[in-house]
Structure 1
Amino acid sequence: MFEINTWIQKGITILIILIVGWIVSRFVKSLILRLIGKSPDQGAVTFLASAASLLIKIMVIVMILEQLGVNSNVIVGAFSACTLGISLALRSNMADVAGGMQIIFTRPFLVGDFVKVLDHEGTIQRIEIMYTVMETVGHTEVIIPNSKLVENTITNYSKDGKVFIHIPMTLSAGVDTEKVQATFYQVMREDPDVIQNEEMDVRIDSLESGFRLGIYCAVHSDRYPKAEADLKKRLQEARIKAEINLPSQTVIVHGQVN
């Protein structure tokens, strides 16, 4: 009877440890985010909060094992063995953790930066222990493993506050090139998002199927890519208004050429 009561007490204690540990881990994480939420390096804040929460959960597991009568030396040995086994089994996950630490220390980007990595472009929202959360232009949340971030080229458009863009446009071979250049230069000079003291250019990139024009300029990074989309719209409107033609297309209907 005494042994049953002892196990009931241990069960209640373990349950309390689990509940309290879960509450404390969440509280500590939210507290860290709240206390240093105004830090300029939000990535380090979210990384630290996640690491603190994980550490508390590990401590809870150790306390539960002690309640079950497991010797502390055995716990340390078992924990070391498990850590080694988990590390070997989850090498990619450990690489993500290492990648997260590398991102925090080298700071290739910060929370709020607009970056391009792999096939994704968007704003960095959070940097967690194993992954980084990005919000794309289409307001889609993309979760990228940290190891992928450190292994691939990252283009950070927010570093110097500007993005150099290239807008291609194929026009008819018979158009007046001077008129085209004057029209598109005027559009860029009047565009509020184009940085006026940076180089801008309208030049011929190739002479195939008419000729391919290239419009080059710089826009403010905090407005990209909407600034690029708006500029494209203004260029098209100016092209139509100036009667600058696109290449004519040959259409085959019922075996006849029109």
Structure 2
Amino acid sequence: MDIDFQKYADQAVDAVVTFAPNLLMAIAVYYIGNWAIKKVSKVLTFALEKAKVSEDAIPFLSSFMTTMMKVFLIMSVVGILGIKMTALMGILAAMSFAVGMSLQGSLGNFAAGILILFFKPYRLGQWVEVDGAFGKIEEIRIFNTILITPGNKKLIIPNGKVVEGIITNYSDKGYIRVDLEVSMPYAESFPKVKQVILDAVKDVPGVLPTPAVEVGINTFDSHNILLAVRPYAEPDDFWDVKFECNQRIKHALSEHHVKMAYSEGVELGEIGE
């Protein structure tokens, strides 16, 4: 049996000639559509900012609208390629159950994102602890929340984890307590050391005048009395206040010749500079 290669070649050429314009059109629409979506997303974000929409909701809404526009773009490209939408919708309907089952977590994260925007357990720029992770809120997205740690690491936490767990918001009240610990030997006068510490930290940049700085005896160990020193600061100033307070307390104790107890064969010793 002879195979008519010329016939098949002619059919292939006809198919390419017939399909090529649609393919080229689909490619052009896809790339132009993506470019347009990026521009529209920027305009949408700007419009939401001008409308004074909550800054927490802007990234979420912008991301959601971008996703919807991309879905519409893909459907348009499929239509240009000549694929019947009724057949495509039938396939999608058949696949939706399986996809939905595999994406239960993602759908839950989406619903959780809406709950976060509605109830506002945190806002952009706030310091929080979520699912054991600590950092500043950089962005609230459709499926996840972005945190930046003090070490400048980027954490991506699924929104479902956020609403299921405990959220500790360090910024909501506007200030946070900085917990410091200072050792004092039993031979020293507590009122004297307390005043030295209060004088040392009262002028530290970032320490708030109210609530007032607290200094008290926290506990006793075998060689020292452990004092709790608790200044208050805004969350963004936490580390600066902590380091500066420690430095000034150490310098003040040295200036006032407050002695320390050591565990290895030395009862009292001077504090160096």
Do Structure 1 and Structure 2 share a fold, with TM-score over 0.5? yes
The yes-or-no answer on 1:60 pairing with 2:73 is: yes
CA gap 1:3/1:34 in 2 versus in 1, 3 angstroms: same
Number of the residue aligned with 2:123:
110
Number of the residue aligned with 1:34:
46
Measure how far apart 1:23 and its partner are.
1.2
State the one-letter code of the partner of 1:219. Answer: A
CA gap 1:110/1:76 in 2 versus in 1, 3 angstroms: same
Number of the residue aligned with 2:108:
95
Query: Hey, what's the Cα distance between the residues in 2 that align with 1:231 and 1:83?
Result: 59
The range that moved more, 188-197 or 198-207, is: 188-197
The correspondence for 1:229, drawn from 243, 250, 253, is: 243
Number of the residue aligned with 1:158:
171
Please, what TM-score do these two structures have when normalized by structure 1? 0.85
The correspondence for 1:170, drawn from 183, 188, 196, is: 183
Please, what TM-score do these two structures have when normalized by structure 2? 0.81
Number of the residue aligned with 2:232:
218
Query: Hey, what's the Cα distance between the residues in 2 that align with 1:224 and 1:55?
Result: 41
SS at match of 1:206: strand
Query: What does 1:1-258 correspond to in 2, within 5 Å?
Result: 1-37=13-49, 39=52, 41-209=54-222, 210-250=224-264
Give the structure with higher Rg (CA). 2
State the one-letter code of the partner of 1:97. Answer: F
Measure how far apart 1:40 and its partner are.
6.5
Kindly indicate whether the alpha-carbon contact (under 8 Å) linking 2:23 and 2:81 is maintained by their aligned counterparts in 1: no
Query: Hey, what's the Cα distance between the residues in 2 that align with 1:61 and 1:241?
Result: 73
Measure how far apart 1:132 and its partner are.
1.8
Kindly indicate whether the alpha-carbon contact (under 8 Å) linking 2:208 and 2:231 is maintained by their aligned counterparts in 1: yes
Measure how far apart 1:2 and its partner are.
4.2
Measure how far apart 1:51 and its partner are.
0.9
Measure how far apart 1:203 and its partner are.
1.0
Query: Hey, what's the Cα distance between the residues in 2 that align with 1:10 and 1:200?
Result: 73
Query: Hey, what's the Cα distance between the residues in 2 that align with 1:43 and 1:250?
Result: 55
Measure how far apart 1:21 and its partner are.
2.3
Measure how far apart 1:148 and its partner are.
2.2
Q: CA RMSD in A?
A: 2.3
Kindly indicate whether the alpha-carbon contact (under 8 Å) linking 2:37 and 2:69 is maintained by their aligned counterparts in 1: yes
Query: Hey, what's the Cα distance between the residues in 2 that align with 1:81 and 1:107?
Result: 37
- Give structure 1 stretches of 5+ with no counterpart: 252-258
Extract structure 1 runs of 4+ deviating beyond 6 A: none
- Report Cα offsets for 1:153-193 as digits up to 9, x if no partner: 22222222111232122333332211111111222322332
Kindly indicate whether the alpha-carbon contact (under 8 Å) linking 1:161 and 1:222 is maintained by their aligned counterparts in 2: no
State the one-letter code of the partner of 2:215. Answer: V
CA gap 1:36/1:230 in 2 versus in 1, 3 angstroms: farther
CA gap 1:147/1:2 in 2 versus in 1, 3 angstroms: same
Query: Hey, what's the Cα distance between the residues in 2 that align with 1:177 and 1:120?
Result: 38
State the one-letter code of the partner of 2:229. Answer: I
Kindly indicate whether the alpha-carbon contact (under 8 Å) linking 1:42 and 1:126 is maintained by their aligned counterparts in 2: no
Q: Between the two proteins, what is the percent identity of the paired residues?
A: 22
Kindly indicate whether the alpha-carbon contact (under 8 Å) linking 1:163 and 1:220 is maintained by their aligned counterparts in 2: yes
SS at match of 2:156: strand
The range that moved more, 9-18 or 167-176, is: 167-176
Kindly indicate whether the alpha-carbon contact (under 8 Å) linking 1:25 and 1:52 is maintained by their aligned counterparts in 2: no
Query: Hey, what's the Cα distance between the residues in 2 that align with 1:83 and 1:169?
Result: 62
The range that moved more, 10-19 or 218-227, is: 218-227
Kindly indicate whether the alpha-carbon contact (under 8 Å) linking 2:204 and 2:241 is maintained by their aligned counterparts in 1: no
SS at match of 1:123: strand
